[in-house]
Every structure is written in C-alpha cells, then in structure tokens.
C-alpha cells in the first residue's frame, strides 16, 4: 500500500476549512507527492456487545418507505426517504416529529438527494445534485435557504462559518471545492492524480467529517480507498486501509456507428457502503462480497489515519450515523426499520 500526501492546489487545509482563501488552480496535485511503502493493516475484530433498541420497526403502515440517508443529533434522527422524497425527523421512541419536502424542482422539493449532514446549529443540509443545489432545513422542519451550485455537489460537509466543502464531478473530472454561504465555489480542493483516471460512472464517494469541522474523510464507494483532510495539515492524505478492490470497468458498446454507450457493469459490488465519523474516529461500513457484508465496521483514527480495529455489527445495515455510545442505523430487510446500536464492553 502506498501512502501519499497531496498538496492543496495553492492552499493548505486551513484555507479549506474557512481560515484563509488563496487563488488556487483546480488541478490534481502530483508534484508535492510523498510516497512511502506501507503495508496494509490486517483486520482485527474488537470485542463488543451491541444492545439494539428499536426506534421504528418496519410495517405496512410505517412512516418509513424507502429510507436511504440518515444523520442524528441528540434525541432526534433525520432520515431522507426516497419513497415519498421527504426529509423526516424522528424522536428516539419512533414518533414522526415532522416531514419536509416532496419530489420536484421547486422550492422545498428534491430529486434524489445524495447526502445528508447536520451543522453546529442543528440545521440539516441536503445535497441535491439532480437539481444542482444544496438545501438547508432547520431543526423544526422549516426551509432556511437553497443554494444553487454551478457544479452538481454530490456530497458535502458544513463548516462553522456557514460555508461548506462540496464533492462532486464535472464530466469525468473530480470537482472538489470549498463553497461560500451562497453556494459559490470559493476555493478548489486538490485531489489524488489517480482520481482523474476513474470513470465518473464508477467514481461514487462516501464523505464524513468530525463534529468540529476540523477533519474530513473521503472514501471510494467501489474501491475502498480512503483519504483524510485535517485542519492545519499541508495536504490530502491517502491512508493504508484493511481492504481495497479494483474499480469496476464500465461496459462500452456502440449500438450505431455514431453512438457510444457506457453501461454500469452488473457484477460490480460496492466495498464501502457507508462512512461516518465522530471527533476521534472514522467508521467505514464494509460490503463487497463478504459473507458478513454490511456488518463489518473498520475504524481509523482521524488524527493520523492509523487503523484502530474492526467491529462486527449484530446484523447487516444499509446506512448509519454516529450517535452517543454507538450508532443509529437503517435496515432495509425484510422491511425498512430504524435502530440504535449501543456499544458496550463485553460482559456488561
């Protein structure tokens, strides 16, 4: 495994996190690359007992239809439900506190959001790349503002300044940037050169950040490669991870002499299903072809990227977010359900 440090395009991480602005060029950085041969860690499972608490059990008349995205803060869990294209807030006992939105492109409407985050003021941020905008909803289910973006932002991290880090693609090229509070790209973020070689069709990401906005992690959904960004550091760092796999190759064919079509390979399987973080660790939910896919949780330190160990969850989960003492998780089979998983030391 190669550990590489990529310098920011004309700035340090401090600039990315709202503490200074330079005038960089939005290009991948290779000239400042530092390489060192580092073997990947071996997966070691940590002992833990998981106590499962039902928040909302799936049923035919449930308020959960097709939930995909989840984030939590205190006693409230926020879920985006593709079944009715609504953002929903649930209490710890499963009560629906409010819902916001519907399918469409008007105010308060969504077309398949791809990321859901919460900021320090308990406002919920949604990346809606099909509408080329970011929408912010307050903790009471009221629209705060909508920010059009020139590039379709697929993943985001709100900053304490009211700005945000946005991650997406423009054509086949990564478009990573710090955006101001109006949704304008203020400062591009450098990225590894290898990302330029990955077709956008299979370049999906997962993004997570620490609550204080000082650290961020970006994982490749299909390959499992993991990048770290930290306030005050001089680059984006790829860390050695327990497991990676090759990117799937899109299928290309020409139905006519003037037409070329790229199709997603049907055999492709994601490796990192979900990513979440707290103030100390980033947690990667591993899928792939494992017998225990959806149950393996690889844990790395945000400070230095070192591998901390892995947990085996009591059941496969589809999405997750860190909460106090554990995780809040979405389970889609046999019916959509919402649970708390509290981690306890063995024997407690």
82-115 per-position pLDDT tens digit? 999 999 999 989 999 999 999 999 989 999 999 9
Nearest CA among 345, 316, 348, 347 for reference residue 48 = 345
- pLDDT at residue 190 greater than cutoff 90: no
Please give the pLDDT value at position 189. Answer: 87
Tens of pLDDT, residue by residue over 134-153, are: 999 999 999 999 999 989 99
**Cα four-point dihedral sign 253, 256, 260, 266:** negative
Read off the pLDDT band of 235 (50, 70, 90).
low
Higher pLDDT, 344 or 87: 87
Q: 3 with 307: CB under 8 angstroms?
A: no
Read off the pLDDT band of 233 (50, 70, 90).
low
Least trusted range by pLDDT, from 56-70, 107-121, 305-319 = 56-70
Please give the pLDDT value at position 274. Answer: 97
Helical segments of the chain, H only? 13-14
Tokens of 345: 């030391």
Please give the pLDDT value at position 28. Answer: 53
Q: 39 with 240: CB under 8 angstroms?
A: yes
Please give the pLDDT value at position 334. Answer: 86
Nearest CA among 103, 61, 92, 50 for reference residue 335 = 61
Place of tokens 């994601």: 270
Please give the pLDDT value at position 344. Answer: 83
Please give the pLDDT value at position 180. Answer: 93
| Domains of the chain as residue ranges with CATH | 2-21+32-244+259-344 (2.120.10.30)
In the DSSP assignment, the letter for residue 129 is G
Please give the pLDDT value at position 347. Answer: 57
Read off the pLDDT band of 187 (50, 70, 90).
confident
Higher pLDDT, 214 or 101: 101
Please give the pLDDT value at position 78. Answer: 97
In percent, the amount of the chain with pLDDT more than 70 equals 87
- pLDDT at residue 23 greater than cutoff 80: no
State the average pLDDT for the chain. Answer: 85
């Amino acid at each position: 495994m190669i550990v590489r440090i990529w310098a920011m395009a004309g700035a340090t991480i401090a600039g990315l996190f709202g503490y200074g602005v330079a005038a960089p060029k939005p290009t991948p950085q290779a000239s400042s690359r530092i390489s060192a041969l580092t073997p990947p860690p071996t997966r070691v499972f940590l002992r833990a007992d998981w106590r499962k608490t039902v928040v909302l059990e799936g049923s035919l008349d449930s308020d959960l239809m097709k939930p995909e995205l989840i984030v939590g803060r205190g006693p409230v869990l926020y879920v985006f439900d593709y079944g009715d294209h609504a953002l929903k807030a649930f209490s710890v006992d499963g009560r629906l506190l409010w819902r916001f939105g519907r399918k469409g492109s008007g105010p308060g409407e969504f077309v398949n959001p791809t990321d859901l985050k919460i900021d320090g003021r308990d406002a919920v941020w949604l990346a809606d790349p099909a509408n080329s905008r970011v929408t912010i909803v307050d903790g009471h289910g009221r629209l705060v503002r909508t920010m059009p973006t020139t590039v379709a932002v697929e993943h985001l991290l709100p900053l304490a300044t009211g700005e945000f880090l946005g991650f997406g693609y423009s054509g086949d090229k990564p478009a990573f940037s710090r955006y101001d509070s109006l949704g304008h790209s203020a400062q591009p973020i450098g990225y590894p050169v290898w990302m330029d070689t990955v077709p956008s069709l299979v370049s999906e990401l997962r993004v997570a950040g620490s609550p204080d906005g000082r650290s961020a992690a970006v994982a490749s959904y299909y390959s499992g490669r993991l990048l770290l960004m930290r306030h005050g550091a001089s680059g984006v760092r790829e860390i050695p991870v327990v497991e990676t796999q090759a990117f799937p190759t899109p299928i290309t064919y020409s139905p006519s002499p003037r037409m070329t079509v790229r199709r997603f390979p049907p055999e492709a399987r994601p490796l990192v299903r979900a990513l979440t973080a707290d103030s100390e660790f980033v947690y990667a939910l591993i899928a792939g072809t494992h017998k225990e896919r959806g149950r393996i949780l690889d844990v790395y330190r945000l400070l230095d990227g070192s591998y901390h160990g892995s947990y085996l969850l009591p059941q496969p989960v589809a999405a997750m977010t860190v909460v106090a003492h554990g995780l809040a998780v979405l389970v889609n089979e046999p019916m959509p359900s919402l649970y708390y998983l509290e981690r306890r030391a063995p024997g407690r």
